[in-house]
């Protein structure tokens, strides 16, 4: 039923791009590095926790700025997909002429970059949704429980948890963009 919108494969392939390429070449093992886990999981969680514990929540002005930036990045990333597709085709045609190790590495890096950009697009969509959910205030539910003794506890738990998730996704998105930038630099550095 949801096969057309299932993006689990993009997430799996993105997480499979975190490995030590030289170790894979020598040992054949596809091992995730500890520093990648630290940078892409622990750091965003810790920073999100710090921001939430300092009671830094999303306000309307910041939400509109962040949503505008995310919309621009989504458009830019879709254009990157076509650029990467052209790079992959060029590498394929170059590999017909020569089959050296550098061409194979550039081809693998380009394929992984395509996956990373696809992941960044999906992540930015989730960022938009998470930010919008931080502003969700159902009036009927609030009216029903606003005089209950646990209302404030539920309200604060909702604010903290949704803000934590939104911050985590935004930080993850920025880190993924930095990784994409680095990979573009590595691919195009050889062209010049």
pLDDT band at 191 (very low <50, low <70, confident <90, very high): low
| H-helix segments, 28-100 | 34-37, 43-53, 60-97
If you ran DSSP here, which 8-state letter would residue 96 be given? H
Residues 6+ apart with CB under 8 A from 77: 117, 120, 121, 124
What per-residue confidence (pLDDT) applies to 136? 85
Residue 79 confidence (pLDDT)? 93
Query: How many residues comprise the chain?
Result: 192
Is a pLDDT exceeding 90 seen at residue 91?
Answer: no
- Domain residues of the chain, as ranges? 3-189
The mean per-residue pLDDT over the stretch 73-97 comes to 85
- State whether residue 33 is helix, strand or coil: coil
3-class secondary structure, 162? helix
**pLDDT at residue 99 tops 80:** no
> What is the pLDDT averaged over residues 97-124?
86
Q: For residue 80, with 0-12 CB atoms within 10 Å meaning exposed, 13-18 middle and 19 or more buried, which class applies?
A: buried
pLDDT tens for residues 50-83? 999 999 988 888 899 999 999 999 999 999 999 8
pLDDT digits (tens, 9 = 90+) for 124-163: 999 999 999 998 877 766 777 777 788 888 888 888 999 9
Tokens found for residue 167: 């911050």
Predicted confidence (pLDDT) at residue 33 exceeds the cutoff of 60: yes
Residue 176 sits at the vertex; the CA angle it makes with 92 and 173, to the nearest 5 degrees, is 135
pLDDT of residue 132: 93
What's the confidence (pLDDT) of residue 25? 62
What's the pLDDT at 98? 63
Burial class (CB within 10 angstroms; exposed 0-12, middle 13-18, buried 19+) of 105? middle
């Amino acid at each position: 039923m949801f096969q057309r919108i299932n993006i689990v494969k993009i997430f799996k392939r993105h997480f499979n791009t975190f490995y030590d390429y030289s170790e894979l070449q020598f040992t054949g093992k596809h091992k995730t590095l500890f520093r990648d886990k630290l940078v892409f999981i622990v750091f965003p969680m810790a920073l999100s926790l710090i921001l939430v514990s300092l009671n830094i929540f999303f306000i309307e002005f910041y939400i509109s700025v962040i949503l505008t930036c995310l919309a621009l990045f989504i458009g830019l990333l879709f254009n990157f997909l076509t650029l990467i597709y052209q790079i992959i085709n060029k590498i394929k045609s170059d590999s017909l002429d020569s089959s050296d190790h550098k061409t194979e590495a550039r081809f693998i890096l380009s394929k992984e970059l395509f996956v990373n950009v696809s992941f960044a697009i999906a992540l930015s969509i989730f960022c938009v949704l998470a930010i919008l959910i931080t502003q969700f205030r159902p009036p009927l539910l609030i009216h029903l429980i606003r005089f209950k003794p646990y209302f404030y506890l539920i309200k604060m738990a909702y604010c903290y948890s949704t803000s934590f998730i939104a911050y985590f996704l935004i930080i993850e998105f920025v880190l993924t963009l930095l990784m994409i930038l680095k990979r573009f630099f590595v691919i195009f550095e050889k062209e010049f």
